[in-house]
Every structure is written in C-alpha cells, then in structure tokens.
Amino acid sequence: MTFVTAIATLLLSQSLTNNEYATIQGELIYPSDYTPAQKVCAEDIFTKKEYCMETRQEQRSYQLQLPPKTYFVFALACSESYEKDIVCQDEYLEKRAYYTDHVICGFTAECGQITTGTPIPVKVEPGANILKIDPQNWYSK
C-alpha cells in the first residue's frame, strides 16, 4: 500500500465515523414458544452486500450500524436451541424473516387483503437513527 493510498483510506474511514453511519433498530419475534438466537442483516438492494449482527437466544431487539444506502432487512434463526444469552453456535436456517408491509400493518386478518408481504426498502441517511425496522415476517416471500 502506498503512502497516498494509506492516507486516503484513513481519511475515508475517519469521514465515515463522523455521523456518516446510521443506526437501524427494531424488535424480533419468532413463531415459537421461545426466541432463538438470530442473525439480523441489512442487504444493499443494489450490490447485495450484507451487514449483519448476531443476537442471543431470547434477545428481542437489535441495533445495526450501516453506511448510507438502501437496504432490505431480514433475520435468520439459529437451527439449534441453546441456553439463554448464548449466540448461535450452529448454522442459521435459510428461511428469512423480512421487514415487510405485513409488519407495518400489524399481521391482522385484513393485512392479507391489503398488503403484498414483499420486503420494504429501508433508505438509510447519514447520521440517522431509524426505529421500528422489525424483520418479523417469517412468512414473507
């Protein structure tokens, strides 16, 4: 790495720490009698690059810092159950729970008639703190 490249990389990383990142946060659920450890990801809708974090079993919320872009947000459940406060020590299931219009609607019977269940793009602006991005639709497309 040249000196100029090193300086450019340092300046870029410093600029991204000065309110260039945003935070999204939300609540987690699972259709069971317990909430398994989950991996919550934000997938850039254009590049498909994922930014993820892991939760512990029975953790019902998450917080994820992201660079400004537009994302689809989803959760994956751990394939095995572990003791409370343990992150997944196994594989994650392939089924994704997305943040969808069903989540916003409230999962009522009427929601199936007025919503599509498709993921909602979440636009992340620099320095924002975006609440209620709940990847809870375990029945999404």
9 belongs to a structural domain: no
41 belongs to a structural domain: yes
Q: What's the rounded Cα separation, in Å, for the pair 64 and 77?
A: 17
How many structural domains is the chain composed of? 1
pLDDT tens per residue, range 30-57: 999 889 999 999 999 999 999 999 999 9
- pLDDT at residue 17, as a whole number: 52
Domain CATH number, residue 57: 2.60.40
8 belongs to a structural domain: no
137 belongs to a structural domain: no
Domain hosting 91: range is 21-130
pLDDT value at 9 more than 60: no
32 belongs to a structural domain: yes
pLDDT tens per residue, range 104-141: 888 887 877 777 888 999 999 999 999 999 999 998 76
pLDDT value at 87 more than 90: no
67 belongs to a structural domain: yes
Q: In what order do the strands lie in the sheet with 129-130?
A: 61-66, 22-27, 129-130
Average pLDDT over residues 67-85: 90
61 belongs to a structural domain: yes
